[in-house]
Amino acid sequence: MHSRQHEIASALKVCRPFEGPASVQAEIDRRIGFLQDCLRQSGMKTLVLGISGGVDSTTAGLLAQRAVEGMRAAGEGDDYRFIAVRLPYQVQRDEDEAQMAVDTIKPDECHTVNIGAAVQGLARATEALDSLDERKRDFVLGNTKARMRMVAQYTIANARQGLVIGTDHAAEAVMGFFTKFGDGACDVAPLTGLVKRQVRDLAAALGAPERLVKKVPTADLEELEPGKPDEAAHGVRYEDIDDFLQGFEVPEAAARTIMETYDRSEHKRQMPIAPV
């Protein structure tokens, strides 16, 4: 198992455990610098990110806002901006926490695009959905919501010389817990390699409220199971996922679940298949 842990951790560029506040700050600075370099090298002026109210998007948003503020303060240009995007599907159940995240980040701009009408319109026009049972249809449309949110973010980014930020990190990547060409699509992924507890560490150090730092993670895409915790979908705790990725001992059943899920979801972490 140890060799497999190392193999997977290496493939996902997992970060070493933090050794204290100084190493957390160093990681924050490194990732802010990464976002700034991405803007400089691309010639783009804007970072765009959907804000859900969870700790991942809150953390990425705080990094993005600090990145553009730093570039403006350094005299690199007053036109560097961060745009936070609220993307509710009709009425969001945890809207108060999403607004708390926006208030914490203090983005240069905040746009709202309600994806409800777009998703419903596509569903009505898609004959392939008609034969599905209620549960399967709900699952498929959950992925459609994630993809529609990314369409909205890219529309804003295209209009504003922007790069779209993704929130994927190692603890989600190992489980394939993202929608292909949905939340898995982005231009820059500043949380890459972090395990879930490290994302929380960065969020806390960046000043996020404890309520968001400790919030139970949920994709909240399916209407039949609103607010379903990620861990219920994984079948394993984030604590065990984090420990597995960082080379610590985990229960055999948890390790088996993680490795099997990693292998089964490999296609989601690859570029499109092409002929050799």
Q: How many CB atoms lie within 10 A of CB 10?
A: 9
CA dist., res. 228 & res. 213, Å (int): 18
Spot the catalytic one: 56, 94, 230, 240.
Answer: 56
Q: Which amino acid is at 97?
A: E
Q: Which pair of structure tokens corresponds to residue 81?
A: 């901006």
Our answer to whether residue 95 is catalytic in this structure is no
CA dist., res. 126 & res. 114, Å (int): 20
Our answer to whether residue 56 is catalytic in this structure is yes
Spot the catalytic one: 97, 172, 183, 242.
Answer: 172
CA dist., res. 181 & res. 178, Å (int): 9
Q: Pairing state of beta strands 109-112 and 162-164? A: unpaired
Q: Are 219 and 184 in contact (CB under 8 A)?
A: no
- Catalytic residue annotation: 56, 172
